[in-house]
Amino acid sequence: MDENNSVDVKLPIGEKLPSFNLIDSSLLEKIDRLFACNAGDYVDLPQLVVVGQQSSGKSSVLEGLTGLPFPRDSGLCTRFATQITFRRSNESKISASIIPSKDCSDTHRRSMQSWGKKELDILDAKSFAVIMREVIDLMGVGPTSEPGSPAFSKDVLVLEIAGPEQEHFSVIDVPGTFKKITEGQTTTNDIALVFDMVKGYMENPRSVMLTVVPCTSDIANEDVVQLADDLDPCGNRTLGVLTKPDLVDEGAEGGILNVINGKSHRLKLGWHLVRNLGQRELRDKANSRGSLEDKFFKTKAPWNTVDKAKVGVPALRIRLQKILTDHIRREFPKVKVDIRKKLQEAEKALRVLGPKRQTAQEQSQFLTDIASEFQDLANSASRAQYVQSDFFGEVARRRLATVAVNRGEVFAENMTDMGHEFNFVEEKNEGDDEGEGEEEEEEEKEEDEEDEDSDSLDEGSVTPSFDDEPFVGSGTSRKSTRLVTEDVDIVDYVIEAEKITSPRSDDILEWLTGVHRKNRGFELGSFDCSLLVMTMQHQARKWKALAKGYISDMIAIVHTLVLDLLDHVVPDKNLLGNLMSVLSEQLQAKYLRAMEQTDFLLKIELEGTPATYNHAFTEVLNKCRAERVKRQLESQVFEIENHGSVVRLCDIVQTHPLSNSEQVVREIHDILKSYYELSRKRFVDNVRMQAADHFLVTGPNTPLKLFSPRFVSSLTPAQLDEVVGEEENAKRQRARLEKEIGLLKECMAILR
């Protein structure tokens, strides 16, 4: 590369610059490609950055290092970072482009990315100035920008020079810091903006800082020197460059020599001294920077006494070669690790957002996958296949089949033990003498009282009585605490807790006699069938509380499982709330249907005409009648050898004759007892199989079957978007993560 209009590379006129040979070009090319795709927004990249105050000679140092003619016009001073890259290529070309700042608007980003001069014919002082003016106007900075606009930009101008004779080298020039504002051109905000921008580049732990300071300034007061000390206290990545030694006042040279020789303001990497061309020398085209600088350090005292390795641009390139080589080789493996880690973090964050769901197809597929998982678990729960998933674990309430069977068993036991209002007449000897009968009656009364005292659980039983633990046997529900149904949004479909008392031990025959006396007609030796309906309703009046308590518990059991399943399969709380708002109405209808079926079964059993084709009714009734006759005849029994117990025919006819009313009451009792037992068993099975199992647990249209792929397919696009459509914040986050992941994957491909 030379400055004398080299035909091959079309660069400005000047002497042939020695090759940099700083480091393996392929390694530097990878770093430049990482910069080009904005990888620096996510990880720190090794880079050479030149910093210094305005008028420190920074641009002249860069011009010496790169051979590029940086504009001297004060209106074209550095207002943005410029990345200059030289690379070897079979084809000679010069290109310019802009990397927009990370926090710019989408409109500004598109504007910056659309600008680009891929093939510049030449990059001399004039064309360089044209590019700088064009970029300044495009970024909206500088004197010609609108009032109130910043004078500096965080965008980065990228200049790339490629050719067969180029050696790979990359450097970043940032605006010079300043402390005084220029009326109409800069503001206090610009001072802070530039300082923060420079500090941002210097904070990168992988940047090598070329800190430019004029010999005419007090080094101790230079902001960039102090900042470099703070950010690089070990001095592993700071190289100081002193400029303008030709302008040092006579007698002040000793202080500069002390700095160069490491006697003051020490830096681990040291200081270097260069001599830039003055304005008069720049105008004289016969002057060459290299020859003038070489002559100056050979002949001008006391600078001719300085170690030649620490003066002049050629020696500076050699020092940079070693510093950059060591630094980049040390940091490059860390870059790979950081990019891989950032990629993993971004992919994890994207997974947390779940599958993309912005179009109707994406939303439907997303919700269908969730519904399928829900159905798999629901089917396992209702079939007692608990080993299919960790979802069931040790949480007993999720084992639906087991909880449902145990609760149904408790319902059946409660109906058997406590469903009747009066205890039916037990088998006892009515032919005993009065004293004996009174004694036995007294004993039974005492036993009943003892039973009532010992069975306090029965007296205080509560229905419904579902809790979070499984029902393990008879009576468990009597000890358990009722589920607070308000917590699961089903309070409108379940009954309030109600105490169920133990059956009464009063004389049921006395009660039946009273009922018969109040309702008999002109029947002879019989009774009206309405008496059976009337007595059946009274005897079974606790069925409603027991049955609806059972179904209330089953609704709570099923609904709790629905909520647990949804909480398990739905990835976020907002989506869960949206889904429940769509499901709730249909879920409530299914719960109501189970309760309505229970009401229907109660109505059939207690308000309908008593009926049965079950021969067990006749068998039980005949048994009751036979047992009654047997009890009446037991006092007339005597033993005959070889014939066993016998009763005389006349005794059968004459033994304890009953009045017509008493006979009817006994008949009512036996029929009621026979029909009640049959009806109770039938009712328990029907409530269990129809209201509980069919409508809540195992049927084809239970609440657990609602949320399914078929349900998802029935939703309109508007409903899908309402349920699973991503919120704007999630959309922005997804777009950001997708962009970041794409960029980091591109970076990983570069690093292979």
Do 155 and 223 fall into the same domain?
Answer: yes
The C-alpha atoms of residue 234 and residue 224 are separated, in whole angstroms, by 16
pTM, whole model, 2 decimals? Answer: 0.60
Mean pLDDT in residue range 657-686: 84
- Which range is least confidently modeled, 1-15, 124-138, 684-698, 702-716? 1-15
The C-alpha atoms of residue 51 and residue 210 are separated, in whole angstroms, by 6
625 vs 375: which has the higher pLDDT: 375
388 vs 298: which has the higher pLDDT: 298
Do 634 and 674 fall into the same domain?
Answer: yes
Do 17 and 144 fall into the same domain?
Answer: yes
Residues in the chain: 752
Flag whether 727 is in a domain. no
Do 389 and 319 fall into the same domain?
Answer: no
Domain that holds residue 524: 368-715
Mean pLDDT in residue range 260-282: 87
The C-alpha atoms of residue 487 and residue 467 are separated, in whole angstroms, by 13
Rounded to the nearest integer, the mean pLDDT of the chain is 80
Question: Residue 189: which CATH number?
Answer: 3.40.50.300
Do 418 and 305 fall into the same domain?
Answer: no
The C-alpha atoms of residue 155 and residue 80 are separated, in whole angstroms, by 6
Do 443 and 333 fall into the same domain?
Answer: no
Do 338 and 378 fall into the same domain?
Answer: no
Flag whether 590 is in a domain. yes
CB-based contact 305:224 (threshold 8 Å) = no
The C-alpha atoms of residue 177 and residue 58 are separated, in whole angstroms, by 11
Do 302 and 431 fall into the same domain?
Answer: no
Flag whether 610 is in a domain. yes
Residue 195, token pair as written in the block: 């300082």
> Residue 20 to residues 63, 66, 288, 314, 325: CA-CA distances in angstroms?
14, 10, 19, 9, 11
Do 479 and 555 fall into the same domain?
Answer: yes
Flag whether 168 is in a domain. yes
Task: Tell me the pLDDT tens digit for each residue of 372-428.
Answer: 999 999 999 999 999 989 999 888 999 999 999 999 999 999 999 999 999 988 744
Range with top average pLDDT, 432-446, 530-544, 678-692: 678-692
Flag whether 747 is in a domain. no
Flag whether 505 is in a domain. yes
**How many domains, the chain?**
2
Task: Tell me the pLDDT tens digit for each residue of 491-547.
Answer: 666 777 778 888 988 888 888 888 878 887 666 556 667 788 888 899 999 999 999
Q: Are strands 156-163 and 93-99 parallel, antiparallel or unpaired?
A: antiparallel
> Residue 537 to residues 259, 421, 675: CA-CA distances in angstroms?
111, 10, 12
H helical segments located in 264-354 = 279-283, 289-299, 313-353
Torsion of the alpha carbons at 272, 273, 274 and 279, rounded to the nearest 10? 130
In this prediction, residue 473 carries a pLDDT of 32
Flag whether 658 is in a domain. yes
Mean pLDDT in residue range 536-564: 93
> At which residue do the structure tokens 């550095």 appear?
78
Flag whether 442 is in a domain. yes
Query: Is residue 11 scored above 60 in pLDDT?
Result: no
Do 312 and 374 fall into the same domain?
Answer: no
Do 96 and 136 fall into the same domain?
Answer: yes
Do 118 and 250 fall into the same domain?
Answer: yes
